Chains A and B, each alone.
Chain A
Amino acid sequence: MSKTVLWWLERLLLLVVSTIVLFPIAWMFLTAFKTPIDAYSVSLVFTPTLQNFVTVFSDPWNLGSMVMNSVIVAGVTVLISVPCASLAAYAFSRFKMRGRKFLFFLVLSTQFIPAIVIVLPFFLMFRQLGLLDTRIALIIVNLAIVTPFVIWMIKGFIDAIPRDSEEAAMIDGASRLRVIKDIVMPMAAPGILTSSIFCFILTWNEFLFSLILTRRDAVTLPIGLVNFRTERGDLWELMSAAGVMITVPIFIMALLIQKHFTRGMTAGAVK
């Protein structure tokens, strides 16, 4: 087969795959700007409206409080998880301790448990503690989900930092904590930023635990989408508007970290 034919086949394949992946997203964006009547039409010609975005933020949908819940839950999870995971990752990367490999495996093994298996124990525990339908419960659960993963990611970045720089700093007069603050963290900063955004995305999109552990007050955006399945049928135009609200921040973050993200994943994978 000639090179030109291969080149065209490659492009065609990319086009087909991209279309399959992007079509639902594009359709969601279009539907978000359609009236309820247009929403059921397959025509690409319609009069765009912003009314759906106004509707989802007013009664009875009140998407605003869900946005607030999602931002607080994801934000606080990142703020707690990333510093803790960074220190844990440093310890796993640098300290020779008995059972280090086993401990690290143990941390990662929490990721092997299907969420559906542990959601009921979490439900019972939070009911007992009176934390059902609170942001605190969601933050605790999300910390348990993302922290092991963030430890693994950041460890990959710290492993790649040459020890010479750390040892040089110790000889220059820095304590271990000072070395972490002045040398390790700035050098691992791209990795930590990537991990933070990844942690935010995971928490932002978390569905199952939010569905089971919240009812009214602490409902997050992905759960809010379910509300648009009503007795009147599925309100696709409102669901799409809410979908846009959920995906746009993630798109922006993904664009920001695109370059670091691949590197972060590679570093985490090989180390």
Chain B
Amino acid sequence: MAEVRLVDVQKYYGPFLAIPDQNLTVHDGEFLVLLGPSGCGKTTTMRMIAGLEEITKGDLLIGDERVNDKPPKDRDIAMVFQNYGLYPHMTVEQNMAYPLKLRGMDKAAQKARVQEIADKVELGALLKRRPSELSGGQRQRVALARAIVRTPSIFLMDEPLSNLDAKLRVTMRAELKHLHHELGITTVYVTHDQMEAMTLASRIAVMNEGRIVQLDTPQKIYSEPADLFVAGFIGSPSMNLIEGAVTNGVFEAPGVNLSVSVGDRDGVVLGIRPEDIELADGNGAISGPIYAMELTGDATLITIRHGTTIVCARGPATYNSQINATCHLKAREGAKLHIFDKTSGQRIEQ
């Protein structure tokens, strides 16, 4: 196990600056998730840690050692790739034993270790098969097993679940979480799926345009997003972001009047999550004609549109109304209202 530190790390692709001055510490035994949209630099950051991409400037430390110039094989890391990265000409057993073979472990010990890990990830019966004879989920297990077979000091996982179907993804997610709990190995996990990030991470680093915009626990990122990007990225359905102004302690926008505890100012954005909005009996603080109603099973997502303002609320599954009928909503008791500066996008503390 080890700590990973990126100190003022930059990555250029030709003249293009992909990662500007990255500073990040992944604590020993932590499960850190790099979360962000495609092209935000999360995979590049991980590949620099792995040694698969050169670092243009700055330092990468694993433990206390600077490893910028060390090849991947000498960094004591294991990685699970999005497309599994299995060796198709080898059997499952050979795939798993390959890292052990490269480390000169004798054959009997290799066999025993492979069997032990295969049993742990339920691959024991498939050891003689080749990857082409396995399902997607089984291949993912092989990739995982190959990574844990030699107990590395750091685990890197690059969107390992993205090729699996929704049901299998949930199962594998739980298994990953359990595995991390069991092994306690420092893990860096890349994903663009915020649900994966929220459920797996000890801490999440939300990235945008090569920068880490917020690094915190999942709870904190959900309840106190640092800026508009994080606010819009985390949560499903995403947070309502309504442009308006604060006058006499009331946030005002077309169809919206909500009490907030910030001073008067123009050019603000109010953030409120759909689950913090409920139906009002009479005239609500938020009102407008219904634009769409979507039944999700346990709830109905009600979207109202008033001029440029669009608000989504999570109503009861039994809710029934008509498109264009006026709907009155209010903030739920104890709802968290977030205020952001429209120009800088930064959170304004209340």
Contacts and interface: CB of A to CB of B under 8 A. Distances in A.
A174 B71 CA distance: 10
A215 interface: no
A142 B73 CA distance: 40
Contact of A164 (B71, B72, B78, B83): B83
Nearest to A175: B73
Contact of A171 (B72, B88, B89): B72
Interface in B141-185: 143, 146
B39 interface: no
A170 B87 contact: no
A170 B52 CA distance: 9
A168 B83 CA distance: 11
B86 interface: yes
Interface string B46-72: 000011100000000000000000011
Nearest to A183: B87
A114 interface: no
Contacts of B263: none
A119 interface: no
For chain B, which range describes its interface: under 10, 10 to 19, 20 to 34, or 35 or more residues?
20 to 34
B71 A162 contact: no
Nearest to B89: A186
A186 B82 CA distance: 22
A167 interface: yes
Most chain B CB within a 10 A radius of its CB, from A174, A175, A189: A174
A187 interface: yes
B98 A169 contact: yes
Nearest to A189: B89
Given A164-B81, A178-B102, A171 B86 contact: no
Given A167-B52, A169-B98, A174 B85 contact: no
Nearest to B84: A164
Interface string B82-105: 111111110000000011001100
Given A170-B73, A171-B72, A173-B103, A165 B79 contact: no
Given A164-B81, A164-B84, A167-B81, A172 B89 contact: no
Interface of B is mostly: mixed
Contacts of B143: 168
B293 interface: no
Contacts of B85: 162, 164-165, 167-168
Most chain B CB within a 10 A radius of its CB, from A162, A167, A186, A187: A167
A175 B71 CA distance: 8
Interface in A142-196: 162, 164-165, 167-175, 178, 182-183, 186-187, 189
A165 B73 contact: no
Most chain A CB within a 10 A radius of its CB, from B52, B87, B99: B87
B77 interface: yes
B86 A170 contact: no
Contacts of A189: 89
A30 to B, nearest CB: 45
A258 to B, nearest CB: 22
A124 to B, nearest CB: 46
A175 B73 CA distance: 7
Contacts of A175: 71, 73
A162 to B, nearest CB: 6
Contacts of A171: 50-52, 72-73, 77-79
Given A173-B99, A173-B102, A173-B103, A168 B52 contact: no
A170 B71 contact: yes
Contacts of A186: 89
Given A173-B99, A173-B102, A173-B103, A187 B88 contact: yes
9 A-B pairs closest in CB distance: A164-B85, A168-B85, A173-B102, A172-B99, A164-B81, A186-B89, A173-B73, A170-B72, A171-B72
8 contacts: A162-B85, A165-B87, A168-B81, A168-B86, A171-B50, A171-B73, A172-B98, A187-B88
Given A168-B81, A171-B72, A189-B89, 6 more contacts: A162-B85, A168-B85, A171-B73, A172-B99, A178-B102, A182-B98
Interface of B: 50-52, 71-73, 77-79, 81-89, 98-99, 102-103, 143, 146
